[in-house]
């Protein structure tokens, strides 16, 4: 059941929880005001020269204000000044300004569907696959961009078309998002205290077997430290997926380690299958049972509230697990707070990597926008004009950031970094070619992730969204079974000799086979439409 190399294309969907989480001058002003034209998904006619682009300084006749919904808070003490600075540039280049409406992280998932349903004439909005971009697009709140983008963002359109980024954003063959392709990977690495490995003469860590030798040494020599303080995360399940070339697991509405059991493999035309029936899952729970009995993690793991990183940073565990962002943050904190510690890490993946989909972040234009051409010109400008992008992303040089002798961004001398937060305007437009490296980033971590590029691909399942309406009762029943029976198995609390057969029986009684059949039916339709 194991796939090697580039055969798998890297997205694993845990569907048993069955939840949707997871231009030229002279543009006619009148054309921009036709909301009905935008609602029909067509590009308003204008006198704009198609060969011009926003990045080349194209102007429009009438100044407009673009209403843009963003995720995040209102920023720190320089947020207004930075916005004024950005708007001055936008007015000069495309005769427009932006009016950001910030929706907090805690409100965004609940509030934005209400905005979409209201028919409000917003111009730009942050969208993402993890914010149900595909299912929301099918409801009609976003403008179809296949004609608008090549006309008003020609350079960005050409770049994203050539890279394949636009293909990942198609919903039933139509484009509703300008995605944000960046070089990142949905893979996880295991990080440990290298100074302790050396202290106890443990051989180099290369795989799970050698990691277990290290955990034995920690258990024997560090009585106040757990080898791995795992708890309310799904990292162990994620490692199972990646080490078997199954891709990355998402856990639906659940934030527990239960995850899912209906897995869509990553080749076009492949069939969904039941994770619990695989020999890989059986070996995984047997291994975790051994680790639990040896005391590698807490006997109270099912009620543990500490996060992995939190315990590691506090010196309460010797191992943590995370992605690139986690690793960079960890190195920065350890350097600042425990400079005598030495860190190292290893990726236990099977050797293939899924690129973070360009649809992980992006921007859409509202279907009732009164200024769709100008909104697209704004996206072209951000993606093609380095000065404008950096004003949006970083603020004002010398005040909110400085660039050191190595070309890396850092904090101005004598300034409290906690005061420098800006409005989160650029989450949907991460333009890698214009982004500074952070002076505090660990080059070793950056090099590790850069090495994945030669064997990394996008998943053909990026835009697949499972409609659970036909099997809603079965999905709910399976979800309950997972929480009660799978979690204890995943953490080694239950004995797999008796608990695994019971779990398999329980999910079948709950209707997992019916769910699998429905997933496969929808997969066939999905691939047929590609």
186-208 residue pLDDT tens:
788 899 999 999 999 999 999 98
Strand-pair category, 437-438 with 408-410: parallel
* Among 113-127, 345-359, 507-521, the least confident range: 345-359
Statement: residue 428 has pLDDT above 70: yes
Assigned fold of 64-183+358-439: D-Maltodextrin-Binding Protein; domain 2 (3.40.190)
pLDDT of residue 447: 87
Strand-pair category, 456-457 with 353-354: parallel
Please give the Cα distance from 370 to 375 (Å, whole number). Answer: 9
Write the CA distances from 487 to 16, 155, 258, 274, 285, integer angstroms: 14, 49, 5, 16, 10
Collapsing DSSP to helix, strand or coil, 103 comes out as strand
Backbone angles phi, psi at 473, to 5 degrees: -65, -40
DSSP string, 473-484: HHHHHHHHHIII
pLDDT-derived band at 86 (thresholds 50, 70, 90) equals: very high
Please give the Cα distance from 317 to 299 (Å, whole number). Answer: 14
Collapsing DSSP to helix, strand or coil, 340 comes out as coil
Question: Distance from CA of residue 128 to its chain's centroid?
Answer: 8
Statement: residue 424 has pLDDT above 90: yes
Residue range 424-453: mean pLDDT, rounded: 88
pLDDT of residue 269: 66
What's the CA angle centered on 380, arms 99 and 70, to 5 degrees? 35
Task: Tell me the per-residue pLDDT of 359-404, one tens digit each, with 9 for 90 and over.
Answer: 989 999 999 999 999 999 999 999 999 999 999 999 999 999 999 8
Statement: residue 74 has pLDDT above 50: yes
pLDDT of residue 233: 65
Mean pLDDT of the chain, nearest integer:
82
pLDDT of residue 500: 97
pLDDT of residue 467: 76
pLDDT of residue 122: 97
Write the CA distances from 147 to 156, 166, 172, 363, integer angstroms: 13, 13, 16, 16
Confidence (pTM): 0.71
Residue range 341-360: mean pLDDT, rounded: 84
Q: Specify the higher pLDDT residue, 23 or 479.
A: 479
pLDDT of residue 247: 52
Q: Specify the higher pLDDT residue, 122 or 528.
A: 122
Statement: residue 43 has pLDDT above 60: no
pLDDT of residue 530: 67
Q: Specify the higher pLDDT residue, 258 or 357.
A: 357
| Of the ranges 84-88, 188-192, 489-493, the best mean pLDDT one | 84-88
pLDDT of residue 150: 97
Nearest of 97, 137, 153 to residue 376 by alpha carbon: 153
Nearest of 163, 201, 205 to residue 182 by alpha carbon: 163
Statement: residue 10 has pLDDT above 90: no
Residue 394 neighbours by CB under 8 Å, 6+ apart? 400, 401, 409, 422, 436
Maximum C-alpha span of the chain: 76
pLDDT-derived band at 27 (thresholds 50, 70, 90) equals: very low
Q: What percent of the chain has pLDDT over 90?
A: 49
pLDDT-derived band at 260 (thresholds 50, 70, 90) equals: low
Nearest of 154, 201, 210 to residue 178 by alpha carbon: 154
Residue range 421-428: mean pLDDT, rounded: 94
Statement: residue 121 has pLDDT above 60: yes
């Amino acid at each position: 059941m194991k796939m090697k190399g580039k055969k798998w294309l890297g997205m694993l969907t845990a569907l048993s929880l069955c939840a949707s989480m997871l231009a030229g001058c002279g543009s006619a002003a009148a054309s921009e005001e036709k909301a009905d034209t935008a609602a029909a998904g067509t590009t308003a006619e204008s006198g704009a020269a198609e060969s011009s682009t926003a990045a080349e300084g194209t102007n429009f006749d009438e100044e407009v204000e673009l209403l843009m919904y963003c995720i995040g808070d209102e920023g720190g003490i320089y947020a207004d000044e930075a916005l004024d600075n950005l708007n001055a540039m936008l007015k000069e280049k495309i005769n427009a300004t932006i009016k950001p409406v910030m929706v907090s992280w805690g409100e965004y998932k609940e509030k934005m569907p209400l905005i979409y349903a209201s028919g409000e004439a917003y111009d730009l909005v942050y969208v993402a696959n993890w914010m149900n971009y595909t299912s929301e697009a099918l409801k009609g709140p976003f403008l179809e961009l296949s004609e608008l983008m090549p006309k008003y963002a020609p350079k960005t359109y050409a770049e994203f078309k050539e890279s394949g980024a636009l293909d990942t954003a198609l919903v039933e063959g139509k484009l509703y998002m300008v995605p944000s392709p960046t070089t990142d990977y949905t893979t996880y690495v295991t990080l440990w205290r290298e100074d302790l490995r050396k202290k106890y003469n443990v051989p180099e860590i290369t795989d799970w077997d050698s990691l277990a030798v290290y955990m034995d040494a920690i258990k024997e020599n560090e009585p106040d430290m757990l080898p791995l303080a795992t708890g309310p995360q799904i990292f162990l399940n994620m490692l199972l997926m990646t080490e078997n070339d199954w891709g990355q697991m998402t856990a639906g509405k659940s934030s527990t380690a239960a995850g899912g059991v209906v897995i869509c493999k990553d080749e076009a035309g492949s069939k969904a299958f039941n994770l619990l029936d695989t020999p890989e899952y059986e070996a995984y729970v047997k291994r975790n049972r051994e680790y639990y009995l040896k005391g590698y993690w807490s006997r109270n793991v099912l009620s543990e509230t500490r996060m992995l990183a939190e315990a590691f940073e506090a010196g309460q565990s010797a191992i943590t697990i995370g992605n690139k962002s986690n690793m960079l943050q960890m190195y920065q904190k350890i350097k600042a707070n425990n400079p005598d510690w030495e860190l190292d890490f290893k990726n236990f993946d099977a050797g293939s990597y899924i690129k973070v989909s360009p649809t992980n972040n992006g921007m859409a234009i509202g279907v009732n926008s009164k200024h769709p051409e100008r909104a697209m010109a704004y996206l072209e400008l951000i993606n093609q004009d380095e000065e404008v992008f950096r004003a949006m992303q970083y603020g004002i040089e010398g005040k909110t950031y400085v660039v050191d002798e190595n070309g890396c961004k850092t904090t101005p001398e004598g300034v409290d970094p906690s005061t420098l937060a800006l409005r989160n305007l650029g989450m949907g437009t991460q333009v890698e070619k214009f982004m500074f490296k952070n002076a505090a980033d660990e080059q070793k971590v950056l090099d590790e992730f850069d090495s994945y590029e030669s064997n990394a691909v996008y998943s053909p399942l990026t835009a697949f969204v499972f409609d659970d309406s036909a099997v809603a009762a079965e999905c709910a029943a399976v979800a309950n079974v997972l929480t009660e029976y799978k979690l204890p198995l995943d953490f080694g609390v239950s004995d797999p000799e008796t608990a695994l057969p019971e779990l398999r029986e329980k999910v079948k009684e709950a209707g997992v086979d019916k769910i699998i059949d429905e997933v496969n039916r929808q997969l066939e339709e999905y691939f047929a439409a590609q």
